[in-house]
C-alpha cells in the first residue's frame, strides 16, 4: 500500500532567490541595522498603504513598543479579545495597563463591537486593541466609530492578516497603530520578526527610538528615551523583502485553497466553515472550522490519516493560569464555545490539489463513520 505523506498545518515557502538574498547579506558583513531593514520597512509601508513602518524582532515586541509609543501605561484600560494568542494582552500588561476582555462575534470570531462600546463606556478605556483573527478583518467600521465617539485609541493586531482588506483598504491602516508578525506560520515570514505601523509621525519616531535602545539612527550613544534592543536583523529583512514580493500570490493561493475546502465541506450538516462578510477580504492565515462535538476524536482522526490540524486556541487568555493568578477570569459565552469547537485545517500555499482532496475526504469520512 502506498504510504501517504503528512500534510502539515503550516509550511513556509522560501525561494532560491530569497536564500540568495540572505546569503548576500551574510557575504556583505553588514548583518544588522544596515540598508535592508530600511528597505523592508519602506516596502512594507508601501504595500499596506501607510506612510512609514518600523521593523522589530517579533510581533510580540512590536505590540509592546506600539502601546508604549502611543503613551499607553499605568492606569490605562485597553479593551481587547479573550480569544487570541497571548501576546496580544501580554503587551497591555507589559505596558503597565489593564486589559479588559469582552466577548466576540459568533460568526466572525472577532471582537463584538457592541460589547467593545459597552466596555469602553463602563471602564473609561484609553484604547481598543482588536485582532484580525485567522486573517479576517475585525469589524473596523464599528470599532473605528466607537474609537472616534469616545476619543479612544484604536490599535490593530494584524499578526495573522497581512494583506487582508476591509472596504478595499488594507488592515493596518485603520488604527492609530498596527502591528504585524513574521513568525513562520504567518502569511509571510522572516523567521522571527515584526512590524509597527503608526499613523502619527511622532508615534512612529518614538517607536523607532524604543526599538533601538532609545537612540536615533546615528548610533552616537545619545539616548532620548529608555529603550530596548528589539531591532530586526538585516538577514531577516532580506528574507522579508523577498517574501513581501510574493505575498499577494500567496494570499491568492490561500483564498483558492479556502474556497476549495469550503466547496468540499460547506454543506456538511455537522461542521461550520469560515465566513467572509461582504466588506472583508479574508487572507486565511488559518482555515478554521467549528465542530460542535467530538473535537478530540476528530483531531485524532485527522492526525491518523496524515492531515495536520491545530486548535487555535483551546483556552481563553484570561482563563490561563498566569492570568488567573492576576485576578483575571470572567465569562465569555461565545469565545468559550469557540475554544471548545474550533479546529484549523491546512490552507497554506504549499498544498497541492491532491492534499486538498485528501483533507476534505478525511473530514467527510469522519462524518460517515461517526454514526
Ligand X SMILES: Cc1ncc(COP(=O)(O)O)c(C=O)c1O
Residues of this chain that interact with ligand X (CB under 6 A) are 58-60, 84-85, 87-88, 131, 157, 159-160, 181, 183, 194
Using Cβ positions, the residue closest to ligand X within the complex turns out to be 59
> Given the complex with ligand X, which of 37 and 271 has the nearer CB atom?
37
CB of 297 to ligand X, least distance (A): 27
Q: What is the C-alpha separation between 30 and 142, in angstroms, rounded?
A: 45
CB of 199 to ligand X, least distance (A): 20
> Given the complex with ligand X, which of 186 and 260 has the nearer CB atom?
186
CB of 179 to ligand X, least distance (A): 7
> Given the complex with ligand X, which of 190 and 273 has the nearer CB atom?
190
SS3 176: coil
> Given the complex with ligand X, which of 56 and 360 has the nearer CB atom?
56
CB of 4 to ligand X, least distance (A): 29
> Given the complex with ligand X, which of 88 and 253 has the nearer CB atom?
88
CB of 248 to ligand X, least distance (A): 21
Amino acid at each position: 500500500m502506498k504510504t501517504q505523506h503528512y500534510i502539515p498545518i503550516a509550511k513556509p515557502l522560501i525561494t532560491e532567490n530569497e536564500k540568495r538574498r540572505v546569503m548576500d547579506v551574510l557575504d556583505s558583513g553588514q548583518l544588522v541595522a544596515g540598508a535592508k531593514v530600511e528597505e523592508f520597512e519602506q516596502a512594507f509601508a508601501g504595500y499596506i498603504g501607510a506612510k512609514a513602518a518600523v521593523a522589530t524582532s517579533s510581533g510580540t515586541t512590536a505590540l509592546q513598543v506600539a502601546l508604549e509609543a502611543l503613551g499607553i501605561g499605568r492606569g490605562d484600560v485597553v479593551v481587547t479579545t479573550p480569544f487570541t494568542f497571548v501576546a496580544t494582552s501580554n503587551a497591555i500588561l507589559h505596558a503597565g495597563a489593564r486589559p479588559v476582555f469582552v466577548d466576540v462575534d459568533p460568526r466572525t470570531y472577532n471582537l463584538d463591537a457592541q460589547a467593545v462600546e459597552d466596555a469602553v463606556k463602563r471602564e473609561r478605556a484609553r484604547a481598543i486593541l482588536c485582532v484580525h483573527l485567522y486573517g479576517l478583518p475585525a469589524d473596523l467600521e464599528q470599532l473605528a466609530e466607537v474609537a472616534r465617539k469616545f476619543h479612544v485609541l484604536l490599535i490593530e493586531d494584524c499578526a495573522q492578516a497581512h494583506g487582508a482588506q476591509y472596504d478595499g483598504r488594507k488592515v493596518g491602516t485603520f488604527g492609530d497603530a498596527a502591528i504585524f508578525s513574521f513568525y513562520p506560520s504567518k502569511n509571510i515570514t522572516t523567521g522571527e520578526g515584526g512590524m509597527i505601523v503608526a499613523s502619527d509621525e511622532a508615534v512612529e519616531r518614538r517607536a523607532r527610538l524604543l526599538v533601538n535602545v532609545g537612540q536615533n539612527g546615528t548610533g552616537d550613544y545619545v539616548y532620548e528615551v529608555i529603550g530596548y534592543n528589539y531591532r530586526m536583523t538585516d538577514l531577516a529583512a532580506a528574507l522579508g523583502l523577498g517574501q513581501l514580493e510574493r505575498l499577494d500570490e500567496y494570499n491568492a493561493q490561500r483564498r483558492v485553497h479556502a474556497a476549495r475546502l469550503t466547496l468540499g465541506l460547506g454543506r456538511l450538516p455537522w461542521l461550520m466553515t469560515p465566513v467572509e462578510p461582504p466588506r472583508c477580504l479574508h487572507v486565511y492565515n488559518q482555515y478554521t472550522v467549528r465542530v460542535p462535538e467530538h473535537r478530540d476524536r476528530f483531531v485524532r482522526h485527522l492526525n491518523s490519516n496524515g492531515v495536520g490540524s491545530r486548535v487555535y486556541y483551546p483556552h481563553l487568555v484570561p482563563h490561563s493560569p498566569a492570568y488567573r493568578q492576576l485576578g483575571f477570569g470572567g465569562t465569555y459565552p461565545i469565545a468559550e464555545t469557540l475554544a471548545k469547537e474550533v479546529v484549523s485545517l491546512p490552507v497554506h500555499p504549499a498544498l497541492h490539489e491532491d492534499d486538498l482532496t485528501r483533507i476534505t475526504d478525511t473530514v467527510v469520512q469522519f462524518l460517515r463513520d461517526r454514526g
